[in-house]
Protein backbone atom coordinates (compact mmCIF):
# COMPACT_ATOMS: atom_id res chain seq x y z
CA UNK A 1 0.00 0.00 0.00
CA UNK A 2 1.09 3.59 -0.43
CA UNK A 3 2.22 5.12 2.89
CA UNK A 4 -0.58 7.70 2.82
CA UNK A 5 -3.37 5.17 2.26
CA UNK A 6 -5.49 4.59 5.35
CA UNK A 7 -4.34 7.80 7.03
CA UNK A 8 -7.85 8.11 8.43
CA UNK A 9 -7.53 4.69 10.09
CA UNK A 10 -4.11 5.58 11.56
CA UNK A 11 -5.54 8.83 12.93
CA UNK A 12 -8.60 7.07 14.35
CA UNK A 13 -6.38 4.61 16.23
CA UNK A 14 -4.12 7.35 17.61
CA UNK A 15 -7.14 9.35 18.78
CA UNK A 16 -8.60 6.20 20.35
CA UNK A 17 -6.89 3.21 22.00
CA UNK A 18 -3.54 3.85 20.27
CA UNK A 19 -1.04 1.91 18.21
CA UNK A 20 2.06 -0.10 19.02
CA UNK A 21 5.62 1.13 18.61
CA UNK A 22 7.97 -1.85 18.21
CA UNK A 23 11.72 -1.47 18.67
CA UNK A 24 14.43 -4.11 18.41
CA UNK A 25 17.80 -3.18 19.87
CA UNK A 26 21.16 -4.30 18.50
CA UNK A 27 21.18 -7.29 20.88
CA UNK A 28 17.91 -8.58 19.41
CA UNK A 29 15.74 -7.60 22.38
CA UNK A 30 12.31 -6.33 21.36
CA UNK A 31 10.06 -3.95 23.26
CA UNK A 32 6.52 -2.81 22.50
CA UNK A 33 5.04 0.47 23.72
CA UNK A 34 1.56 1.88 23.16
CA UNK A 35 1.62 5.28 21.49
CA UNK A 36 -1.10 7.84 20.96
CA UNK A 37 1.03 10.42 19.19
CA UNK A 38 2.50 9.95 15.72
CA UNK A 39 2.33 11.60 12.35
CA UNK A 40 2.83 10.49 8.78
CA UNK A 41 3.76 12.77 5.92
CA UNK A 42 6.34 13.74 3.38
CA UNK A 43 9.55 15.36 4.67
CA UNK A 44 13.03 15.64 3.11
CA UNK A 45 11.66 14.10 -0.08
CA UNK A 46 10.72 10.91 1.80
CA UNK A 47 7.59 9.36 3.29
CA UNK A 48 8.16 9.82 7.04
CA UNK A 49 6.48 8.47 10.19
CA UNK A 50 7.29 10.50 13.29
CA UNK A 51 6.87 9.06 16.78
CA UNK A 52 7.37 10.68 20.18
CA UNK A 53 9.03 8.89 23.10
CA UNK A 54 9.84 10.34 26.52
CA UNK A 55 13.41 9.79 27.79
CA UNK A 56 11.98 8.26 30.99
CA UNK A 57 10.57 5.34 28.98
CA UNK A 58 12.44 2.07 28.51
CA UNK A 59 11.65 2.27 24.79
CA UNK A 60 13.64 5.51 24.56
CA UNK A 61 16.88 3.86 25.67
CA UNK A 62 16.30 1.11 23.10
CA UNK A 63 15.32 3.50 20.29
CA UNK A 64 18.40 5.64 20.85
CA UNK A 65 20.57 2.86 19.42
CA UNK A 66 18.13 1.12 17.09
CA UNK A 67 18.23 1.80 13.37
CA UNK A 68 14.57 0.85 12.83
CA UNK A 69 11.10 0.83 14.37
CA UNK A 70 7.61 -0.20 13.35
CA UNK A 71 4.23 1.30 14.07
CA UNK A 72 1.53 -1.38 14.21
CA UNK A 73 -2.13 -0.40 14.20
CA UNK A 74 -4.60 -3.05 15.41
CA UNK A 75 -7.81 -3.61 13.52
CA UNK A 76 -10.76 -1.59 14.81
CA UNK A 77 -11.85 -2.86 18.23
CA UNK A 78 -9.08 -5.46 18.53
CA UNK A 79 -6.12 -5.81 20.92
CA UNK A 80 -7.54 -3.33 23.47
CA UNK A 81 -6.21 -5.38 26.40
CA UNK A 82 -2.74 -5.52 24.82
CA UNK A 83 -2.75 -1.79 24.08
CA UNK A 84 -3.72 -1.12 27.71
CA UNK A 85 -1.00 -3.39 29.09
CA UNK A 86 1.73 -2.05 26.79
CA UNK A 87 0.72 1.51 27.66
CA UNK A 88 0.90 1.05 31.42
CA UNK A 89 3.70 -1.48 32.01
CA UNK A 90 7.41 -0.94 31.44
CA UNK A 91 9.62 -3.17 29.35
CA UNK A 92 12.16 -2.83 32.15
CA UNK A 93 9.87 -4.97 34.31
CA UNK A 94 7.90 -7.10 31.84
CA UNK A 95 8.39 -9.00 28.62
CA UNK A 96 5.28 -7.42 27.16
CA UNK A 97 5.28 -9.59 24.07
CA UNK A 98 5.18 -12.76 26.15
CA UNK A 99 2.76 -11.31 28.74
CA UNK A 100 0.30 -10.36 25.98
CA UNK A 101 0.88 -13.56 23.96
CA UNK A 102 1.70 -11.49 20.89
CA UNK A 103 3.54 -12.99 17.96
CA UNK A 104 6.26 -11.09 16.15
CA UNK A 105 7.01 -11.32 12.46
CA UNK A 106 10.27 -10.39 10.77
CA UNK A 107 10.19 -7.17 8.82
CA UNK A 108 11.77 -6.52 5.47
CA UNK A 109 15.28 -6.04 6.93
CA UNK A 110 17.17 -7.48 9.89
CA UNK A 111 16.29 -5.49 12.99
CA UNK A 112 12.68 -4.85 12.02
CA UNK A 113 9.90 -6.72 13.78
CA UNK A 114 6.16 -6.18 13.73
CA UNK A 115 3.16 -7.59 15.57
CA UNK A 116 1.24 -10.28 13.74
CA UNK A 117 -2.47 -9.59 13.49
CA UNK A 118 -2.34 -5.81 13.22
CA UNK A 119 -4.30 -4.15 10.43
CA UNK A 120 -1.72 -1.57 9.40
CA UNK A 121 2.05 -1.89 9.71
CA UNK A 122 4.59 0.83 8.96
CA UNK A 123 8.20 -0.39 8.77
CA UNK A 124 10.56 2.53 9.32
CA UNK A 125 14.27 3.29 9.23
CA UNK A 126 15.39 6.03 11.62
CA UNK A 127 16.05 9.08 9.45
CA UNK A 128 16.53 11.71 12.15
CA UNK A 129 15.58 12.81 15.62
CA UNK A 130 15.26 15.92 17.70
CA UNK A 131 14.64 16.61 21.36
CA UNK A 132 11.70 18.78 22.26
CA UNK A 133 12.23 21.43 24.89
CA UNK A 134 10.41 24.14 26.76
CA UNK A 135 11.37 26.74 24.16
CA UNK A 136 9.75 24.75 21.31
CA UNK A 137 6.33 24.14 22.83
CA UNK A 138 3.30 26.34 23.37
CA UNK A 139 2.40 27.37 26.92
CA UNK A 140 -0.88 25.45 26.64
CA UNK A 141 0.88 22.21 25.64
CA UNK A 142 3.54 22.73 28.32
CA UNK A 143 0.93 23.00 31.02
CA UNK A 144 -1.19 20.11 29.76
CA UNK A 145 1.44 17.56 28.67
CA UNK A 146 4.72 18.48 30.37
CA UNK A 147 4.06 19.51 33.98
CA UNK A 148 7.07 17.38 35.07
CA UNK A 149 9.30 18.58 32.20
CA UNK A 150 9.71 15.08 30.74
CA UNK A 151 9.98 16.28 27.13
CA UNK A 152 9.72 13.84 24.25
CA UNK A 153 12.32 12.94 21.68
CA UNK A 154 10.80 13.05 18.22
CA UNK A 155 12.05 10.22 15.98
CA UNK A 156 11.63 10.54 12.23
CA UNK A 157 11.40 7.20 10.42
CA UNK A 158 11.63 6.83 6.67
CA UNK A 159 8.73 4.52 5.80
CA UNK A 160 10.33 1.60 4.01
CA UNK A 161 7.11 -0.36 3.67
CA UNK A 162 3.48 0.14 4.62
CA UNK A 163 1.23 -2.91 4.78
CA UNK A 164 -2.54 -3.11 4.91
CA UNK A 165 -3.87 -6.26 6.58
CA UNK A 166 -7.31 -4.78 7.23
| 1 lies in some domain | no
Residue 65 lies in a domain: yes
- Domain span at residue 129? 7-164
Per-residue pLDDT tens listing for the chain (166 residues): 888 999 999 999 999 999 999 999 888 999 999 999 999 999 999 999 999 999 999 999 999 999 999 999 999 999 999 999 999 999 999 999 999 999 999 999 999 999 999 999 999 999 999 999 999 999 999 999 999 999 999 999 999 999 998 7
C-alpha distances out from residue 33 to 39, 56, 139, 141, Å: 16, 13, 27, 22
C-alpha gyration radius of the chain = 15
Give the chain's domain count.
Answer: 1
| 2 assigned to some structural domain | no
- Report the pLDDT value the prediction gives residue 3, as an integer from 0 to 100: 86
CATH number at residue 66: 2.30.110.10
- The pTM (predicted TM-score) of the whole model is 0.95
- 41 occurs within a structural domain: yes
Over the stretch 72-113, which tens digit does the pLDDT of each residue have?
Answer: 999 999 999 999 999 999 999 999 999 999 999 999 999 999
Question: Is there a domain that residue 128 lies in?
Answer: yes
SS3 29: coil
Decide if 39 is inside a domain: yes
User: Cα–chain-centroid distance for residue 93?
Assistant: 19
Would residue 18 count as lying in a domain?
Answer: yes
Q: Which residues contact 92 (CB under 8 A, 6 or more apart)?
A: 58
Sign of torsion over alpha carbons 65, 99, 123, 77: negative
72 located within any domain: yes
Amino acid sequence: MKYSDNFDRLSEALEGAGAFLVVEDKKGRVNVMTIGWAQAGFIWGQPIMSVLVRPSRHTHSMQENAPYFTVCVPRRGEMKKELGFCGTKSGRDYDKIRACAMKLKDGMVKGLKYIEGCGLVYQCEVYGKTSLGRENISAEALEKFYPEGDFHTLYFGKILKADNFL
